[in-house]
Amino acid sequence: MDEIDRDLLILTQDGIGLEERPFLSVAERLRISEEEVVARLRRLGQIGVVRRFGTRINPRRADLMANAMVVWSVPPDRIAEVGAAMAESPDVTHCYERRTVPGRWEYNLYTVLHCRDREDALRRVAALSRATGAADYRVLFSTEEFKRRPSGRIDPAAGPERGR
């Protein structure tokens, strides 16, 4: 990675514009071509610096009012299989494994679903349970959102406002 790559990450970490040529303004600020912006992002993805480039919606504005975190207790010998199956589900937006706290918290697989209402969420969770055979779970619904932002942010103090 060079200085341009770092500046590119800073400029794109909070998203790009919803426009016909979303990389044009980034290219202009970096004083490189759009093609180079795309090539650099592609290379950063190939080497694992950029894990994904996607769209983030505001679930509530999209009328998805039931934000459900589902915690699952899955036997350790099935965690990879069940986790992979749940991660493939279009209903699941996040899926990850966490350590248990023996005797206190036995849930080791976590999924997040954004649904229209609680009943819809419960139906979808039950379908995931049937499809994977993971029967021990709890559904935790959000009641209020205090903060939401992308993780892994880069410090803008190192910012791209350098002359090139």
Contact predicate 107/50, CB 8 Å: no
- DSSP element (H, E) containing 24: helix 24-30
Query: What's the mean per-residue pLDDT of the chain?
Result: 86
Q: Which amino acid is at 66?
A: A
The CATH number of the domain holding residue 75 is 3.30.70.3460
Say whether both 37 and 15 belong to one domain.
yes
- Is residue 156 over pLDDT 50? no
Of residues 94 and 17, the one with the higher pLDDT is: 94
The pLDDT value given to residue 29: 93
Q: Average pLDDT, stretch 132-148?
A: 88
Say whether both 82 and 137 belong to one domain.
yes
Q: Average pLDDT, stretch 21-34?
A: 93
Give the span between the Cα atoms of 47 and 51, in whole angstroms.
9
Say whether both 14 and 33 belong to one domain.
yes
The pLDDT value given to residue 113: 93
Give the span between the Cα atoms of 130 and 85, in whole angstroms.
12
- Is residue 141 over pLDDT 70? yes
Say whether both 50 and 73 belong to one domain.
no
**3-class SS of residue 159:** coil
Q: Which two tokens stand for residue 48?
A: 């694992």
β-strand partners of 140 = 69
> Whose CA is closest to 160, among 39, 29, 20?
29
The pLDDT value given to residue 142: 86
Domain range for residue 77?
66-141
Inter-axis angle of helices 118-132 and 79-88, nearest 10: 130
The pLDDT value given to residue 57: 62
- For 152, phi and psi rounded to 5 degrees? 70, 30
Predicted TM-score of the model (pTM): 0.61
pLDDT grade, residue 17 (50/70/90)?
confident
Say whether both 72 and 121 belong to one domain.
yes
The pLDDT value given to residue 161: 40
- Is residue 35 over pLDDT 80? yes
